[in-house]
Amino acid sequence: MAGHIEFLSDLNPPSLERTWLTAPHPTLPIVATCSSDKTVRVYSLTNFRLLSTISGGHKRSVRTAAWKPHVQGESVLASGSFDATVGIWRRWDSYGRDEADADGLGPQAESVDGGGRDSDGGNGNDEDDEEWRFAVLLDGHDSEVKSVSWSPSGMLLATCSRDKSIWIWEDLDDGDNNFETVAVMQEHEGDVKCVAWHPVEECLASASYDDTIRLWREDIDDWGQVACIKGHAGTVWYLDWEGVDNVPSFAGEAQSTLVSQWKSQHALSGPRLASCSDDRTVRIWRRHAKEQQTQPPFGGAGMPSIIRPTGTDEVWEEETVLPSKHELSVYAVSWSKRTGLLASVGADGRIVVYQERFVATGLTQTNNTDVPSDDAGLPAPRTEWEVTAVVDGAHGIYEINHVAWAKRADRGREAGQDQEVLITTADDGSIKVWTVGC
């Protein structure tokens, strides 16, 4: 293992109860952490301090949260709770702009605290907390909400629950905070643990206590299942998509032919999906590329058909099982959209970072006729995953519930440095920030 993980800072003050998940903001150097104390805490990644505590919306533990993308001038946060509801919170980006303006500017950054904390670690200025507006409560699930996820456009919100259902809500964006139920999917046979939108397509992935991963798409105004992936031998706890522009790493000089060939294959099947499970494994799944349709459907003359087309199902296969490094359930996996590194955490308190590399011997040897190929018919370049860094007992004796990559924004970084940090969230209420090098 050539890489390393180094502890950078705690986010202070921590929660006094279990923390479930930390969601990095899509553009600002802030994160939102969900806690069993019924709150969401917003921390700065510039000075690692508490900015706001969002409270009063939920009656039980807040299990999950996600920032809405593509919002100008304000931040919109969805939170899901064990009280079976989903909250939508809004706040004008006053401290967000301060954070961005002061980010890395030395003395100016010292004044950045958002007014949202005080010296003894409390919630800070009440006026600041009131700036978070509880916009709407989405009520539909019958049991604990386990995961929320915004679509790439930000117009759709997916939620899932212990009640075995997945709901898709549309933000009508009408100025009155109205949401409309678009679909309710109930094919899962157990608690649905996670929902995650494809990075560019309106395709939703879900993971469940029933050991399956399912893919969902809309077809003629109706959402339906297009794939059911079976492979894990236990609860699938979490999912994360690969970045669209991801390219495996390689030793030595850039092998432009391999890279261009890999990108060509990748474009056919699209981003892959990473999953983790109670079976202690992390797996990578790839969609088979569909052949381009050159003939009109049903032998017609090119007239569009209103009949639901056949062949809407997608074929997904297990591309690889990552090297086994976890001794207990793996609760979360995060795939960096910037570097392609993948991190996993779980009940054993361990952080594992993996890296995908091109294999120097060149092309893959396989009997699988569905391996993607480019126009010349060449099979995809072969890659392999290696463990590049491990931290044992990252939060002492406590289980780690979540891991996420975030853009590094601490004041001590060098000018022009473009790097990510890893954020882990644990049962003891602590949230830790780590730097990763390979």
Indicate whether 166 pLDDT > 80.
yes
Rounded distance between C-alpha atoms, residue 78 and residue 90, angstroms: 9
Domains of the chain: 4-95+131-289+310-360+378-437 (2.130.10.10)
High-pLDDT (> 70) share of the chain, %: 78
C-beta neighbour count of 12 within 10 angstroms: 14
Residue of 423, 430, 394, 389 whose CA lies nearest to 408: 423
Question: Alpha helix (H) ranges present in 232-366?
Answer: 256-269
Span 309-316, average pLDDT: 73
pLDDT bin (cut points 50, 70, 90) of residue 268 is confident
* Strand arrangement, sheet containing 30-35: 19-24, 30-35, 40-44, 50-54
Indicate whether 171 pLDDT > 70.
yes
Please tell me which residue, 291 or 437, carries the higher pLDDT value: 437
At 407, give phi and psi (nearest 5°). -65, 135
Indicate whether 438 pLDDT > 90.
no
Rounded distance between C-alpha atoms, residue 397 and residue 349, angstroms: 7
Which pLDDT value is given to residue 296? 40
Indicate whether 265 pLDDT > 90.
no
pLDDT (tens digit, 9 = 90+) per residue, 71-103? 988 999 999 999 999 999 999 887 555 555 444
Which pLDDT value is given to residue 301? 44
Rounded distance between C-alpha atoms, residue 134 and residue 384, angstroms: 46
Least confident segment among 108-122, 230-244, 263-277: 108-122
Is 388 strand, coil or helix? strand
Least confident segment among 166-180, 324-338, 373-387: 373-387
Which pLDDT value is given to residue 359? 86
Rounded distance between C-alpha atoms, residue 32 and residue 154, angstroms: 18
Residue with tokens 């997916």: 158
pLDDT (tens digit, 9 = 90+) per residue, 231-249? 999 999 999 999 998 989 8
Indicate whether 272 pLDDT > 60.
yes
Give the amino acid at 257. T
Please tell me which residue, 152 or 96, carries the higher pLDDT value: 152
Rounded distance between C-alpha atoms, residue 7 and residue 10, angstroms: 8
> Interior CA angle at 156 toward 230 and 283, to 5°?
25
Indicate whether 127 pLDDT > 50.
no
CA 88 to chain centre: 19
